[in-house]
Amino acid sequence: MQQESAIRAEWANWGPIPMECDAPFLKVSGELPRELNGTLYRNGPNPQFDAPGAHWFVGDGMLHAFLLENGRASYRNRWVRTPKWLAEHDAGRALFGGFGRKLPDAPADLTDGGVANTNIVFHGGRLLALEEAHLPTEIEPGTLATRGYCNYGGRIAGPFTAHPKIDPVTGEMVFFGYNASGPLTPTLSFGAISAAGRVTRFERFESPYASMVHDFIVTEHHLLFPILPLTGSLQRAMGGQPAYAWEPDKGTHVGVMKRNGGTKDIIWFRGENCYVFHVMNAWEDGDRIIADVMQFEEAPLFPHPDGRPTDPSKSRARLCRWTFDLAGNTDRFAQTYLDDLSGEFPRIDDRRAGLRSTHGWYACANPDLPTFGALSGVVHVDGTGKRLSKYHLPAGDTMSEPVFVERGKDAVEGDGFLLAVVYRARENLSDLAVFNANDVEAGPAALVHLAHRVPDGFHGNWVGAS
């Protein structure tokens, strides 16, 4: 009975917390590695007010910052004060429902429903909170104060992905945006920002249909844009049906473009129907492009156009390898599952982003527990997808995205630490867990204990003190 209670309790961590706080001198179990000097920033939805019919994806962004310094730890959290958050704060109630939909009693002149709730990255001297339907929101490091939208001096416009890719060799950040011609349109934008923070490219092109394009693929010389059948429809939305729905008849398409090429040269490949939220890594192998992704057979969390749910047995992600033969006489790409373990939130040593990598990690489910879909552990794989080690939390506890931090700038690939926020169901509290990245099976080497929980969220990144 105690185990069943704990398992049910983990769903409570989807709910928001009502406060902002600072917590210095946190208790640490074990010993924090002295090489860890910097801040883990994490982002996720934390609605300021309940809104009828609002999807979990559209809750207001809340940032959680764990400062680690000389074996000590402190914590700070703040809502991202977007125009939506400020308007609702002043009104004392929700003004938006799901995916930018205003509630009937919202002011007529209110148009911005951005939430900045998905990721947070540091690039070109700026700390940016990201959510794929709007521009980046600049954040003040340390204080977490919101500075406002960042459009790089007017050089970019429209949606900006929550998953830009930073080239480890040049420092360039490559990005894209979907719905680039307006809500639920098939136009995509893409561009690049130099290591110094200057926009060097910004263009648009048309994709086969309007789709939720959460992530994309970048290698040394190519960009790949997955257009997968989680479709967007303004007509559906205006008719009271789901704005986004699983529509497999649209087919799976991936556009391949050279990084130094143009949109007119995009080659479209086709594959078996699937959905992918997150890419682990991708690289070039002669005339082939290899991409390791977390692939669903059917999109989770969204229904069919008529409101019917997708098949839960097909709505779990597994590590899958996509292979594109650029020299072959085919427009099909191969999809090969590398493991049957359910998982999500894949990460690598970011010094190998877009290059062949030999280490990867992701949050995984425990197939021995009734809550098979809950992410309750972490797995370490090699460059072929083979499991090297695995660790599972106690029943009911859940794991966030594991973020890799190298031991030092000269450390070999994979030599470092994994940082992940863990929810403890029995105590209704959260810890920051620090693992040895090459020995996750040994469990956390250190735990930083909070006096409250951190709600289930999305993505984060480490920013070193230097």
- Per-residue pLDDT tens over the stretch 372-406: 468 999 999 999 999 999 999 999 999 999 999 99
How many residues are listed for the chain in this entry?
Answer: 466
First to last CA, the chain: 49
Closest C-alpha to 190, from 221, 219, 226, 164: 164
The model's confidence at residue 466, banded by pLDDT at 50, 70 and 90, is confident
Longest dimension (CA), the chain: 61
- Confidence (pLDDT) at 11: 53
| Tens digit of each residue's pLDDT (9 = 90 or more) over 187-198 | 999 999 999 999
CB 293 within 8 A of CB 276: yes
CA 354 to chain centre: 17
Distance CA 338, CA 328 (A): 23
Distance CA 410, CA 398 (A): 33
Of 11 and 347, the one with more pLDDT? 347
Q: What is the mean pLDDT of the chain?
A: 94
Q: Which of 17-26, 92-101, 354-363 has the lowest mean pLDDT?
A: 92-101
Distance CA 317, CA 276 (A): 8
Q: Which of 95-104, 117-126, 216-225, 425-434 has the lowest mean pLDDT?
A: 95-104
Q: Put residue 170 in one of left, alpha, beta given phi > 0 → left and psi -120 to 50 → alpha.
A: alpha
CB 431 within 8 A of CB 424: yes
Instruction: Summarize the confidence of residues 356-370 as an average pLDDT.
Output: 90
CB 162 within 8 A of CB 461: no
Distance CA 253, CA 329 (A): 17
User: Exposure pattern of 82-96 as b/e (b: 16+ CB <10 Å)?
Assistant: bbbbebbeeeeebbb
Cα-based angle 345, 200, 405 (whole degrees, multiple of 5): 30
- Confidence (pLDDT) at 97: 86
Asked whether the predicted pLDDT for residue 116 surpasses 60, the reply is: yes
Structure tokens at 400: 């966030």
Distance CA 138, CA 184 (A): 25
- CB atoms under 10 Å from CB of 169, counted, come to 10
Asked whether the predicted pLDDT for residue 199 surpasses 60, the reply is: yes
Asked whether the predicted pLDDT for residue 43 surpasses 70, the reply is: yes
Asked whether the predicted pLDDT for residue 220 surpasses 80, the reply is: yes
Distance CA 316, CA 313 (A): 7
Instruction: Summarize the confidence of residues 274-283 as an average pLDDT.
Output: 98
Of 137 and 110, the one with more pLDDT? 137
- CB atoms under 10 Å from CB of 112, counted, come to 13
For residue 351, which phi and psi values (nearest 5 degrees)?
A: -70, -10
Whole-angstrom CA distances from 17 to 48, 60, 221, 454 are: 9, 11, 43, 8
Of 101 and 439, the one with more pLDDT? 439
